[in-house]
Structure 1
Amino acid sequence: MTFTIHFNFGDLEAIQHGEPLVSFFLLHVLTALLSHDLPNFISHQFHYLALHAFKYSVRHPFNHLANWSNTSSICNWAGVTCDANTERVSILNLADMSLTGTLQPQVGNLSSLVELDLHSNSFHGELPKGLLQLQKLKILNLSSNEFDGKIPAWIGSLFFLQCLIFWNNSFKGVIPPSVSNLSKLETLDWNDNFIHGSIPLEIGRLQHLKILHIAGNYLSRKIPPTISSLSSLEQISSSHNSLTGYIPNEIANLTNLKMIYLTHNQLFGYIPRSIGSLTSLQELDLGYNNLRGDIPNEIANLRNLKAIYLDANNLFGYIPRNIGSSISLQELDLGSHNLQEQPAALDLIIAVVGWWAVLPTSSFGWQYVLAFI
């Protein structure tokens, strides 16, 4: 039996830091040769070296990585979970450990990784292309760090991703159209970054997407009609951007929607009457836009609504008679409009709303009235 070993000892030198890793490695090579289990050994050692490279590229002031040493199995290291059958690293969860540093490309050598969670630390810099080697990855959570640079197009080649969570970083650039290649994606949360440009038309290809959070960025232009193809969508949040144009009528196709947050944009036109088809909707926030016209009567069809925010637009006409007919309704904000209340509608609102209501009223000079029920 013949074995050929290709190994870069430069990696060892870069992370050695006084530990006898070379002799440790060579000793285990001999052990593996004798047991004829060299392929598994090589894989295990690449994982070992990748984790060591990770450890020595970050600061861990609270010593959370103290047991990351060759005196114990990597499967017992803090934040590391191994597959029970292969003993290869499958999960690396180092969330909220006050770690500071950059993400090194060697992390891509953790080829069996299905979950990488580094949220709530202080990592910075750009995403290393080495992540592209993590072809089994299902969950990538880098939220609440200081990562920057553009979100790379190669992110769309991590085909097994189900959750891609980057909120509260400093990513810039545009939403890469290649993200539409992530056919298994269920959660895309990129809130609170510096992403600009438009929502790509290709996003409609994400048939399994349930959560789309892109609020708190610098997105502009229209909401693409292709968003109506996201048949599994339950939450859409694109608040605090600069989106313009109409709310597409096609939104009525998203019958699984439970939450719509489009507040603080520059949307104009009418509230589409087709919104009355979204019978699973629980929260609707269209406040602080340039919407005009009346509040559609069809909104009374939304019997599961808990909160409605339509404040700070240019709405006029009558408040729909049955707007408070939902037994779940707890919050209603129609403030700062030229709306006229119908007595029957006002009585129903006061009878049903459980927490608070903000209504325009002529008897108070069209100022807010806060009614605690």
Structure 2
Amino acid sequence: MDTFSPLSLLSLLILLFTCLNLSAAHNITQIKSDESILLALKSHITLDPFNILKNNWTSGTSFCTWIGVTCDSRYNRVTQLNISYMGLVGTLPREIGNLSFLVSLNASHNSFHGLIPPSIFNMSFLEVLALKNNSLSSSLPLDMCIHNLHRLKWLRISYNELYGEIPSSLGQCSQLEYLSLFNNTFTGFVPTEIGNLTKLQELFLSENKLTGPIPSTIGNLSNLVYLDLGYNNLNGPIPSTIGNLSNLQDLHLSSNKFSGPIPSTIGNLSNLSSLWISSNKLNGELPFSICNMI
């Protein structure tokens, strides 16, 4: 039977003690890193009208007690950052993407301008990204959902100055339930890959500069409750697959360039309470099946 000699046992204890010290030191370093990232964000604020960050985000107190900051109880790492409705003016620093435990980021209803830091789209634990009502001006990364963001459920970046195409890789954010990109200047087609987002409940793409047809894959979104594609330059026929959206309550397709008849399958939308299809180039008679919605 093998036994440990006193020397080998001592060596093992020393190794274990060293590993524990290294682990503790690493955790302290990561905690300090979270604090430095928050202070970097504070340094990028040029106007703090209510002095919330100025008076509260100070290194003399634990950052886990700062207004808008939530930490997990085990590791004291930042998991939620909510700085919405603070009237802040400034930019989002690239360091913000290094908050590696972050689950929810809400900076809506401020006056942030400049780019959305690409590092944000590398956050593997992020479930909520809300940057609505700012003046952000950038495009979305083409690979935004390929490597990370696989847990993302809410993406709200409406009312900004975002441009470029909606990336087809968005279809790989398979956990998305709420997608709001309206009131920007996105161009190009609605990607067919959007039909992969089968958990999606609300889709808002209105008030952009989108062109081309509605992809037939839209019919895959069986959990969709709200669909708003109004005020774009979309064209072609309304796809018959739209009748597959049996849970749909609101359908807004107004102010586009849709042509052809209204598909008879629209009568399958028995839960529909709001239908907007004005200001298009539709023709033909109203399908009799529309009576099924009354």
Which TM-score applies when normalising by structure 2?
A: 0.76
* Structure index of larger Rg: 1
Supply the AA of the counterpart residue of 2:293: V
Confirm or deny: 8 A CA contact 1:174 1:196 kept in the other structure. Answer: yes
Please state if 1:110 is matched with 2:51.
no
Give matches, 1:214-233, under 5 Å.
Answer: 214-233=157-176
Matched with 2:81 is: 140
2:227 pairs, out of 284, 289, 308, with: 284
2:236 pairs, out of 293, 296, 306, with: 293
Over 3 Å counting, the alpha-carbon distance change for 1:148 and 1:321 in structure 2 is same
Structure number with greater CO (CA < 8 Å, separation at least 6) is: 2
Matched with 1:190 is: 131
Matched with 1:180 is: 121
Shift of 1:203: 2.6
Matched with 2:264 is: 321
1:138 partner SS: strand
> C-alpha distance in 2, partners of 1:280/1:192?
27
1:203 pairs, out of 112, 135, 144, with: 144
> C-alpha distance in 2, partners of 1:150/1:163?
18
Q: Which runs of 5+ in 2 are unaligned?
A: 1-34, 36-48, 70-74
Confirm or deny: 8 A CA contact 2:50 2:86 kept in the other structure. Answer: no
Supply the AA of the counterpart residue of 2:290: I
Confirm or deny: 8 A CA contact 1:114 1:137 kept in the other structure. Answer: no
Confirm or deny: 8 A CA contact 2:195 2:221 kept in the other structure. Answer: yes
Over 3 Å counting, the alpha-carbon distance change for 1:295 and 1:352 in structure 2 is same
Confirm or deny: 8 A CA contact 1:238 1:262 kept in the other structure. Answer: yes
Task: Count residues with an aligned counterpart.
Answer: 239
1:241 pairs, out of 162, 167, 184, with: 184
> C-alpha distance in 2, partners of 1:308/1:341?
20
Matched with 1:4 is: none
Over 3 Å counting, the alpha-carbon distance change for 1:146 and 1:278 in structure 2 is same
Give matches, 1:223-372, under 5 Å.
Answer: 223-343=166-286, 345=287, 347-352=288-293
Shift of 1:226: 1.3
Supply the AA of the counterpart residue of 1:259: E
Shift of 1:341: 4.5
Over 3 Å counting, the alpha-carbon distance change for 1:274 and 1:153 in structure 2 is same
Confirm or deny: 8 A CA contact 1:114 1:139 kept in the other structure. Answer: no
How large is the RMSD of aligned CA atoms in angstroms?
2.3
* Residues 120-178 of structure 1: per-residue CA shift (max 9 Å, x gap): xxxxxxxxxxxxxx961111111111112111111111111111001100001111110
> C-alpha distance in 2, partners of 1:256/1:191?
22
Identity %: 38
Shift of 1:193: 0.1
Supply the AA of the counterpart residue of 1:163: S
Confirm or deny: 8 A CA contact 1:115 1:140 kept in the other structure. Answer: no
Q: Report the structure, 1 or 2, having the larger strand content.
A: 1
Supply the AA of the counterpart residue of 2:203: I
